[in-house]
Amino acid sequence: MTKVNLFFEHFPAFNQSYVADMVELLAEDKSVDLEVNALKESDYKSSAKVQLAPNYFQKRLYERFHGLISKTYKGLSYWEIKWLKNKAQIVHLHHSFLFKYFNEISKLDVNQRPKLVVTLRGSDTYLRPWYDKRWSDFYKNNSDKIDAFVVMSQHQKEYLQKWGVSENKIEVIPASIKLNINSPKHLGANKIKIVSSFRMTWEKNIEGNLRAIKHLVDKGYDVSYDIFGRGKDIGEVYFMIDKYNLHNVVTIKGKVENDDYVKQLKDYDFYLQLSKSESLSISTIEAQSIGLPVIISNAGGMPQTILNGESGYAVSFHKNDLAAEKIETLINDKVKYHEFSKVAIANAQKKFTNKIEVEAYINLYKRLTDNV
């Protein structure tokens, strides 16, 4: 068995319950001896056992004691000492901004420490290195000490190399969802219900999504648009709703637990997300699994999530009029809509289930430890 430690800030983060689903499945695999470490407790309940960090004084006492009894542990943090003592073969960091916890252990001889893996989910690749020297320095000066970086898409892999990370250290393993069995949808004759789910930030192109809805309203379509999520730019949502006079069309649903959100998805007809930057988009995958045709931007790794022209459409993020036209095409062709719904479900089941992600991780862990 491969002894693996997964390391989180909290397990899982609110908007990453899909990670918990994957971890629970990984824990069931007989080839892996799994331990989950976290700095903070999460409200999300998981069957995976989580070891939480003790308080500050307990950690400091632990570090000082082991630093005195062994030169090997001198200068290492609480978790680094734990990983060495427990003879972990793989330590996998899932919240990449915690890379400081790899600082000292990464300096040890590669044969005296676990293999170190870091998952990158988006802003840590596309945004932070541009303005935060800690990130650019980490990639430029320390990425050679990390044994593997996991990214969500081929586009993210290519972008990460911009910062000095070697291509042979980057593994593409898309995030995944539970396997759900759903029937293809038929488009009714009543109000067209469109949905989005994202963090309220500039990179999600809040105005672009609302402008696409505005185009449909101006053409006389009876539509409703619900937005799930929260974030620091939520004020823009309210402002643009008012600017385009969409008060009777748009509803801000806010923060909703993922299981409840997925259940509600079945009530919608289309999923819309015209992001400016995106490593993948788990929401796009979830929508397809329910049978929703998806209209997305072609930014980053988003096109990897769909079959363009078969399960949805990808357009340039600034072409919100074209996004509206694609929705209009399917509104006016109910047979085509039903075909898109069938392909959307098949696409999600074929490429983005937990089983596929877990198998990819097990293969990565095996490859890293076989090289010891």
Instruction: Select from 3.55.50.30, 3.40.50.170, 3.60.20.10, 3.40.50.2000 the CATH code of 2-176+354-370.
Output: 3.40.50.2000
The total of other beta-carbon atoms located within 10 Å of residue 103's CB is 15
Cis omega before residue 293 (within 30°)?
no
Q: How far is the C-alpha of 113 from the C-alpha of 110, rounded, in Å?
A: 6
pLDDT of res. 11: 85
Q: How far is the C-alpha of 150 from the C-alpha of 165, rounded, in Å?
A: 12
Closest alpha carbon to 73 in 49, 105, 97: 105
Q: How far is the C-alpha of 40 from the C-alpha of 23, rounded, in Å?
A: 17
Domain boundaries, the chain: 2-176+354-370, 192-351
250 and 210 Cβ atoms separated by less than 8 Å: yes
Question: CB within 8 A of 237, min separation 6: which ones?
Answer: 200, 206, 210, 227, 252
DSSP single-letter state for residue 236: H
pLDDT of res. 323: 97
pLDDT tens figures, 342-358: 999 999 999 999 999 99
pLDDT of res. 293: 98
The total of other beta-carbon atoms located within 10 Å of residue 207's CB is 18
pTM greater than 0.85: yes
Closest alpha carbon to 98 in 30, 35, 11, 202: 11
pLDDT of res. 371: 64
pLDDT of res. 179: 85
Q: Residue ranges of the chain with pLDDT lower than 50?
A: none
pLDDT of res. 347: 96
Closest alpha carbon to 241 in 207, 192, 203: 207
Instruction: Select from 3.40.50.150, 3.40.50.2300, 3.40.50.2000, 3.40.50.1240 the CATH code of 192-351.
Output: 3.40.50.2000
- Asked if 2-176+354-370 and 192-351 have one fold, the answer is yes
